[in-house]
Chains A and B, each alone.
Chain A
Amino acid sequence: MSGRYSLRCKITAATPGRGRAGSTPHRVKVAFVILAVVVASSLGACLFDTRTPHQPDKTGTSVALDSPERVFEAVGKALNSLREADYERALSQSFVFSPLLDDSLDQNFVGTTAFTGWTKQVELSVLAVLLSESQPITVKWSPSIEVTTTDFVRFRAGYTLTVPSRVSGQTTVYGGSSQIDVRNEGGNWRIVRWEDRAATDSTATWGFLRGTLRLRVNP
């Protein structure tokens, strides 16, 4: 197992580059730069060694993203199993999230950058905090299709997110409706845009939860 993940440290012999019949100072400079690159590469091979994981004590299956609706299953499964993998797979590299205007103007977020530049990396860092502090989370979706083309589907999806906290012991329910854009990327359907569209009359939105977690990740 470890061999699969480890990069072995190798010291490669430096070969000075050949300039175009250049003068000695140029050769010295080229050799200097190449030496720096080789030394850095060699050190890098050690510095980039990964850790050896433990043997898995449970198995599971991943959700095949072979149709647009499967992204909801992937997100729900990841939240319920407290494992990020399916959530990560369901997001496009170009993923963006946009909150409700009411949420972005909430007292908790005034004067902050809680919702600025919301990328896949931000979404996953916020997700890690959520999963760390929660017991299995359940989400109920009610998606309907608004736009369909061969490579793109726009859903209007109502949701109810139930989050039992491991920190406070309380269970909080979030609800609302989002516009979720899903695109076919090389054969896999992935979420490219998630835009909160409406709140419900008795719950905060998933976007509000995202904002509070973002402030903790990036105060």
Chain B
Amino acid sequence: MEMRNQYQSTTSTRWGEQLLTLIRHGRKNYRLQNRFEENRLFKNALNQRFAGVWSVDLSYDDSRQFNRAITTGGLVNDFIKNDRGVTLTLWRQSAAGHALRWDGRTAASTTVGKKTFQTDNARWAAANGGARYQMNVLGRPVHVSARAAHKETWMTTTSLSGRDVFALASFADATFHRLGGSEDSVVTSMVAVMHDSTVVRAGYSEFTGIRRYADQARGALGAQKFNESALLWERERKRTESITAALISHPLKGVKLTGDLIHSINGADYANQDTRFSETTTDRIGASVQYTAPWGTHLSSRFQNGVVNRNLGPKSLGSFREQRRRFDVSGNHSLTPNVGVNLAYSTQLAQSFYKSAENPRDRDQLDQSITASANGAVGQNIDARFSFTFNQTQFINIDASQSSDNRTKERLSVGPNLTFRISPLLVVEQSYSVSVERTTYAAMARQGDNTLDRNLDFSNRFRLTFSERVTGSLEYRLNRHDRGAAVGRNGDVLIPDREDRRDQMFLGVKYRVLPHVSWVTNFDYNRKADRTIGVGSVASKTTAGGIEAGFEGNFKWGTGRTMRVELKKANRFSPFNTARQNDFWVMNTTVEYAF
């Protein structure tokens, strides 16, 4: 059972203050798992703006969050997060209408954050500024922009013995000073219109962040050691750098060319935990061509090539280089106003090359996909759609110690969907689908692991409109499935070891009693028959189902004011269900009221 309430308001005064208030409350009771969760959030923010040569914003934020979870077995987990803070911001920007525009901003804040297990006192100061310049180069407009920012944070943390939620014995309150960090960033970009139909973009960005924090060291069992002597002082440095460039061009009418490249470095290193070093360098280039003919036919093709170098430090055996290439081509065409076809093909190769000879995980993965579909309409009353999908993935481990797992997984799915509008009172929807999934191993010794799964699906649905007030639907679904060993030269002969059949029936009736209130009855029945083939053949049948009936209401009183109500009684049967799963009420109420 779930209940959620939320209240949100924004109030402005004539003196320019703006008060934002948010109250949220939620409860979840998992009655089948003996579990309970409660979330409460209260948030207030007050903003005051003073206009002058420099504009000044002063804001006060107060946020209180409480989460309680009572898990199976009665363990209570409380989580509290209360934050209060004052932020002062001074900012100024140039007047509009000039080729050179700039802005500058400086801010300082002090916050107190209380969590279940610690209190953080933080102060930070930051400054950022940027400029944007528009100019003409050889008669063509060029936009150049740059921004830079710096932030310093000073923090003191008091760890509370209340952290001891798992009765981990004594750990007295302790206060840790000299925490915090700094962040620097630079972002630049350039946009040049080279020709009426050609635009070039380029950018460079850099970020460096340093964070000093205190953590409890972890023992061989992975848990933190709760005493001050086991305190781990850590200095984390993160670095991000990226260079990007892109080109968009329309050289001919209906033809669009794009190209893009990126070079980026993401890294993190730690002063104490030297096994956590990581640096990833990515170089990627892509290009695409698209053409839209005057008669609507659309063709597109894209190629992408990228290399990722992942360095996990000298102690790791996991450093590797990954080469990834991808090619996509697609097209769609309307044969008549009512008949269209779509085709798409994609292939991707990912190859990993590990740097340590001791690591045998060098691997190729080749993914290919073909999809085709056609849709058409015969007059006003018949719609048809036919779809075909084929996916293939080859997993190729290079090293002899891993290559016996080399395999190819293929999935083929094909089938039509039909809609017949027989009369305004009756619409019939039918779908048919055949799908085959096959896994074949490359090694002769693993041929016994080759498997084949076959599924045949059929569904038929009648949608009935008896009158303006009474509607109904009747649906039947059938799934026949078998699986077993795939044998034969191409692995296309099935020796089944299991087969099953699933029949499902759904019946629904909706009667609109009042303009906004309906009586709804839904009935479903499921039957599953399994058979294991071979020595010790076993057959089993299970049936399940249920009926659900009750009222649904939808009320509306204008923009943003709605109420939805659902009250239904459900009775179900299944060999897997407990008594509480067989007999229950469904109650949902949602009220939204915008002032």
Contact = CB atoms under 8 A, between A and B. Distances in A.
Given A50-B366, A218-B266, A188 B453 contact: yes
A117 to B, nearest CB: 16
A215 B368 CA distance: 30
B284 interface: no
B396 A5 contact: yes
Main secondary structure of the interface of B (DSSP, over half): strand
B312 A216 contact: yes
Given A48-B325, A186-B435, A219-B267, A66 B528 contact: no
B310 interface: yes
A187 B71 contact: no
A209 B398 CA distance: 28
Interface string B289-322: 1010111000101010100001010011110000
A26 B293 contact: yes
Given A150-B526, A201-B166, A202-B223, A59 B445 contact: yes
A44 B234 CA distance: 47
A85 B276 contact: no
A15 interface: no
Contacts of B275: 167-168
A105 B115 CA distance: 10
Contacts of B406: 53, 56
Contact of A187 (B266, B268, B455): B455
Interface string B51-79: 00000000000000001000110010001
A142 interface: no
B443 interface: yes
A25 B291 CA distance: 13
Contacts of B316: 129, 132-133, 167
Nearest to B169: A201
A132 B361 contact: yes
Interface string A93-128: 000000001100101101100000000000000001
Contact of B220 (A22, A170, A216): A170
B280 interface: yes
B592 interface: no
A204 B225 CA distance: 11
A32 interface: yes
B268 A215 contact: yes
Nearest to A198: B71
A149 B576 contact: yes
Given A33-B301, A56-B401, A203-B221, 10 more contacts: A30-B293, A33-B291, A47-B325, A54-B403, A102-B79, A107-B215, A129-B312, A148-B576, A186-B455, A217-B278
11 contacts: A5-B394, A30-B299, A48-B325, A54-B399, A56-B403, A57-B400, A59-B446, A66-B483, A212-B276, A215-B268, A217-B278
Top 4 A-B residue pairs of the complex, sorted by shortest distance between their CB atoms: A204-B222, A56-B404, A132-B318, A85-B405
Interface of B: 32-33, 67, 71-72, 75, 79, 115, 166-168, 211, 213-215, 218, 220-224, 238, 252-255, 266-268, 275-280, 289, 291, 293-295, 299, 301, 303, 305, 310, 312, 315-318, 325, 327, 329, 347, 349, 351-352, 354, 359, 361-362, 364, 366, 394-407, 411, 435, 437, 441-443, 445-446, 448-449, 451, 453, 455, 481, 483, 498, 502, 526, 528, 542, 544, 574, 576
